[in-house]
Amino acid sequence: MKEALKELFNRDLTALRKEIELYRDEAKLWKLDNSIQNSGGTLCLHVIGNLKTFIGNALAQTTYVRDREFEFSGTPIPRTKLYQELDETIAVVNKGFDALTEAQLDDDFPIRIWEEETKILFTLMHLHGHLTYHLGQLNYHRRILDV
């Protein structure tokens, strides 16, 4: 199960990076329009912050300090910086999974995210769902607004 989840995170973070590459106009990465409240760049930063916090700090033992307000500020940063951050996120996710044993999947997640304690397996499945949800949003953002 651990290796399958690791593979899925890597596949979808790589797909997220590809979506960023597919924007023909880098400025459109940060575009908002009518009911679209989060730009592709914002969604990317949010996924990075989420995974560096919960997989990085909890499993990879990093000391990442999340700036959630910045994730949603809409402040454009260069696409090359997003690539760098995504590459770092992939490395952190891999480090977190490599530090984890299959038996630990039934342990409580080291960081309490919600009111109730959750198991590592449940939390990783939730985090992967969160990643794919925002990956889909980013894909639609690009196809609708990068015209």
CATH number at residue 127: 1.20.120.450
Q: What is the pLDDT of residue 147?
A: 84
Mean residue pLDDT across the chain: 96
Average pLDDT over residues 119-133: 98
Distance CA 14, CA 10 (A): 6
Q: Residue 80 pLDDT > 90, yes or no? A: yes
Domain count for the chain: 1
Residue listed under structure tokens 């409240």: 37
Q: What is the pLDDT of residue 34?
A: 87
Domain that holds residue 58: 2-145
